[in-house]
Structure 1
Amino acid sequence: MITDSIAFLDLPDGRSLVGRGPFTPSAKPPQEGVAFYRNDFGLGAAEPWLVPDRWEIASHGEVASLIGMAGGSPACTWEAPEASDFSLVFQEISAAIRGGTFEKTVPVVVERGTLEEAPGHRLLATAAGSSGPLLGYGFSDGVSGFAGASPELLLSVTGGVLKTMALAGTARTEERDVLAVDEKEIREHEYVAQSLVAKLGDIGEVRRGPRGILQLGSIVHFHTPIEVDLTGEESPAQLLRRLHPTPALGPLPRTPETLRQLIGWRRRLGTPEDFGAPFGAIVDGDFHAIVAIRGLWWQDREVILPAGCGVIEASRLVNEWRELRLKREAVKARFGL
C-alpha cells in the first residue's frame, strides 16, 4: 500500500514543482525555499502552507515519471447526477438574482463514480504532463487526493509583476463562432474581467489585454489576460484574499453573506471543500496559484467529479445543465475515464 504523499504543480514558465512528504503544515510560507499552498473554498485553513520533506523542479513532461506510476487510470463506473437537485438550487439562485442579492454566482454539480481499484498516485500521474494552456496540479497521500489540469491561473507573481486572467463563457469547440457573438456569455465574461480590474486597481498599474477565445480540446472559453505592475509589497495571503474567489467561481457581488450562501449551495450539492479553491506554491519568493477545477477528488475507490456554471439573470436551466455535462465529459476524457 502506498503511504507516501506527493504534490505537484505546473508553473506558468513550463517547469513543474514536485514535492514529497511528509509535508509540514504552516500558517505562513517559509522565508526561502518551497512550500505548497492548499486551502478550502472559503480560505478557512489555519495552516494552508505545506512544506515538503524534499522537492525538485522538472519539465511538465517529466512529472509522471517522477511520480513513478504507470498503467493509466482504473476503470470507473459512473452514477449520473440528479437534475432535480440542481434544479432546486438553480431556482433559488434565480430568485436571489431577481431580488437583487446577486448579479452572478456559480453553483457546482458533482458526478460520483466507483473505481475498479484504488488508484494510489495513478490519477496524479495521469494529470501530469498537461500541455499548455492547461496547468496540471494534484495532491495524493496514496489513499485520497485530488488532481486535474486547470485552464485558470488565479495569479502568478514574479519580479513585482502580477499576472491573472478572466476565464468565463463556455461553448463546444464547434460552436466557437456562435460563442464569439453570444451576448449572455459575453456578459458573463465581462462581469469577471471588470471585477478583477476593479479589485487590482489600487495595488498597481493594471493592463487588461483583449478578450480572446481559449481552445481547450472539446471546449472553448472567453479569456482576457490581466497584468499588474505592483507598487508595494503584497503577501501571497493578501493577494489570495483580494482575488479569490473571482466571479468566474464565486458570487458577484462578493460579500461575506453572498459567499456564505454560495458555500451553502455547494455543500447541499456535495461539492468537495477545495474544488475551485486556490492550489499553489511559493518557489524562492515567486508565488503561483491555479484555480482547482477540471479535476477529480477521490477517497479509496470512490471518486467525485465536480463542475460549476456561471448563473446570471439571462441563464436558462437546460443550457447550464448542458454546460455542466460538457465540462465533466472533458475531464473524463482527460483521465481516460
Structure 2
Amino acid sequence: MKDGDGRYLVGLGPFRSCAEAPESGTAFYCNDFTLSDPEPWKIPAEVLEVDSLKELGFEGGAAEVDWSELQPDGFAKVFAEINEAIGRGVIEKSVPVAAECGMLTGAADVGVEIIGRMACLGAPFYSYGWCDGARGFCGGTPELLFALDACRLKTMALAGTAKADERDVFAVDGKEIREHEFVAQTLVAKLSDIGDVTRGGREMMDLGQLVHFHTAIDVELFAPRGMDDLIRRLHPTPALGPLPRTVDTLRSLAEWRDRLHCPSHFGAPFGLLHDGVFCSVVAIRGVHWDGLNISVPAGCGVIEASRLVNEWRELRLKREAVKSVFGWMG
C-alpha cells in the first residue's frame, strides 16, 4: 500500500488472520464489500518499505488481455429497477456496478504481471493491492474511507464525475452537485454524534482524465473509537452504497452487484495499520483477477435525475481510466 507520494509498504506472507487488530506492529485490513470475513486483519510475516515495486520483482511483461465486450442489457435492467425504487420512495440513491471482463494471455504469474503493470501514482491516489495465490486485486484509488491517528479522524466525500475537459460544465451541473451533497451530508450526519466535525468546501479533484467533486471532512472524536467500529459505521460510503442505508437497501445493492458480476472486493475497505496510525481506502479504480480471468469494475451513483446513457458513459470513462494505469488502452 502507498499513500500518495510516499513509499510502498509491502507485507509478505504467510499471513496470520485475526478478528481484531493487533495492539502493535503492522497489519492489513482486507475484507469483502459485505464485510463477511470474520478475521479481516492480516498480519504479515515480514514488512518491507520500498520506493518501487520493481525492487521486489514486480515487472509487467508482454501479456495482453482478450476483452469481452460489455453489453448494456443487464445494467439497463438494474438501472430501471433502481429508478422504480426511487419512484416508490424506497431509496433516494444506489450505486450499481458493471464489470468489463477479459482473459489474460501470455502471463506466467498473473499477480506479478498485473501488479507490475500498474503505474506508480502519486497524490491524490492511494495505491493498494492484495494477492492470495491465484487470486487478487490492485489499483490506485482516490477515495479515502478514513485515516485515524488517536482521536483525529480524516475522511472525505468523493462523488460526481466528469471528463477533465468538461470541468467548466461539470462545475455547475445540478445533478452532479446533488449527488455529491447526498454523500457529504450523509457523512457529516454519521459522524456528528461521535465527534466535532469540520466540513471543508466542495472542491474539484483533478485525476488527469477525470475530475470529481471532493469535500474534506475532519473529526475530533469525543473518545477513542475502535477501527472495526468505524469501518462498519462508514462502509459503504454514501458514494458506494444506498441512501438510506438499511438492511433492505444493502441487500438490494448486494443482489444488483451479484447480477452484474461485480467482484466481491470492489468498493470494499482496504487498510493498513502501521506505527499506530490506521489508513483505510475504498478499493475502487482497480483490477481484480482469479486465475487468468480479470475484471475491471466501475460504479455510478443513480439518483432521480440520472439518465441511463449518461451513467453508461460514466462507467466507460472510469474503466478507461483504470485501463490506462495498466497500459491496456492500446
TM-score category of the 2 structures, normalised to the smaller one? over 0.9
Q: How does 1:122-271 map to 2 (within 5 A)?
A: 122-127=113-118, 129-271=120-262
Shift of the alpha carbon at 1:231? 1.6
Map of 2:92 onto structure 1:
103
Q: Deviations over 1:95-138 (max 9, x none)?
A: 00111111111000010011113323232233362111011100
Q: Work out the percentage of aligned pairs sharing the same amino acid.
A: 54
Asked if structure 2 preserves the Cα contact closer than 8 Å seen for 1:146 and 1:297, the reply is: yes
Counterpart mapping for 1:286-301 below 5 A:
286-301=277-292
1:178 counterpart letter in structure 2: V
Q: Which runs of 5+ in 1 are unaligned?
A: 1-8
Quote the residue 1:70 is aligned against. 59
Task: State the 1:56 CA deviation.
Answer: 2.2
Q: TM-score, normalised by structure 1?
A: 0.94
AA aligned opposite 2:200: G
Equivalent position amino acid for 2:91 in 1: F
**Residues in 2 aligned to 1:84 and 1:162: alpha-carbon distance in whole angstroms:** 41
Q: Distance in 2 between matches of 1:253 and 1:73?
A: 46
* 2:194–2:222 contact (8 Å) kept in structure 1: yes
Q: Is the 8 Å Cα contact of residues 152 and 165 (structure 1) preserved in structure 2?
A: yes
Match of 1:38 in 2: 30
8 Å Cα contact 1:86/1:109 also seen in 2: yes
| 2:272 partner SS | strand
Identify unmatched segments of 5+ residues in structure 2: none
SS in 2 for 1:199: helix
Q: Is the 8 A contact 2:150 2:224 kept in 1?
A: no
Distance in 1 of aligned mates of 2:57 and 2:226: 34
Asked whether the equivalents of residues 12 and 44 of structure 2 are also in contact (C-alpha less than 8 Å), the reply is: yes
Rounded Cα–Cα distance in structure 2 between residues aligned with 1:66 and 1:144: 22
Tell me how far 1:37 sits from its aligned partner: 0.4
Letter in 2 for 1:134: F
Aligned residues: 326
Pairwise CA distance, 1:65: 2.2
Compared with structure 1, are the counterparts of its residues 161 and 12 closer, same or farther at alpha carbon in structure 2 (3 Å cutoff)? farther
1:94 equivalent to 2:83? Answer yes
Structure-2-length-normalised TM-score: 0.96
Q: What's the RMSD between the two structures over aligned residues?
A: 1.3
